[in-house]
Amino acid sequence: MTLTVTLYWSFRSPYSYIVLPRIADMARTFDVEIDLRVVHPAAIRNPSIFARMDPIARPYFLKDTARAAAFHGLPFRRPIPDPIVQDQTTLRLAEDHPLARRLGHLGIAATEGGKGLEFAQEVATLLWDGTVTGWNQGSHLADAARRAGLDLEDMDTAIQNAPKAFEAKLTRNDADLRAVGHWGVPTMVFENEAFFGQDRFDVLVWRLTQKGLAVRNGET
């Protein structure tokens, strides 16, 4: 029996980047369907968290994300440019974040095109692995889309024809994330049970195993 895991995920979340190879490997190895739900980054989804954030939280977050990536053998550097426009000293946010919104809309388009997980992997790597500066320039996004089996021009056209619809789908995913009992990403949901954070992936697999997780040749 195919098991379904809903994955709430953001392009700007380093922990979302860190968990994704394990999610993709699970989907390849086991009879599991991944229902990818791209959400806005926290700066759009829940900007008030920055106003009440403890001053020591961000330094720890920066250290921990680099450490977690290294633990899992992933190259890591924060994206250049950052999809979110924010003063890194005061944490004050800009009024709008066009790069983040474009990534979110593209994520919705990729999901609707049946290649959401593949596109998320390609673009997350582009953003976070440190090999590309200026990921939003030149052919970087087009090449990532092509590697995922998509055409960036077609995706952009679909978005331009119905921008409010794509934004509404992101907003609905934001609301659905809260409805399942969490506010952060990555959050994985199986049978209405939420598993928040890349460090809960093994707990998710444990739960799936209890429910009959099977490899794709039918063995448990």
Q: Please give the share of the chain, as a percent, with pLDDT higher than 90.
A: 85
Q: How confident is the model at residue 220 (pLDDT cuts 50, 70, 90)?
A: very low
Q: What residue spans define the domains of the chain? A: 3-210
């474009």: which residue's tokens? 102
Q: Which of 54, 50, 32 is nearest to 41 (CA)?
A: 50
The alpha-carbon radius of gyration of the chain (Å, integer) is 17
In this predicted structure, what is the pLDDT of residue 216?
85
In this predicted structure, what is the pLDDT of residue 218?
55
SS3 content of the chain, % helix, strand, coil (to 5): 50, 10, 35
Whole-number Cα distances in Å, 16 to 155, 175, 190, 219? 22, 18, 17, 29
Q: pTM for the full model?
A: 0.94
Does residue 219 have a pLDDT over 60? no
Q: Which of 80, 71, 90, 68 is nearest to 127 (CA)?
A: 80
More confident residue, 171 or 88: 171
171-195 burial code (b ≥16 CB/10 A, e <16): eebbeebeebebebbbbbbbeeebb
Overall size of the chain counted in residues: 220
Fold of 3-210: Glutaredoxin (3.40.30)
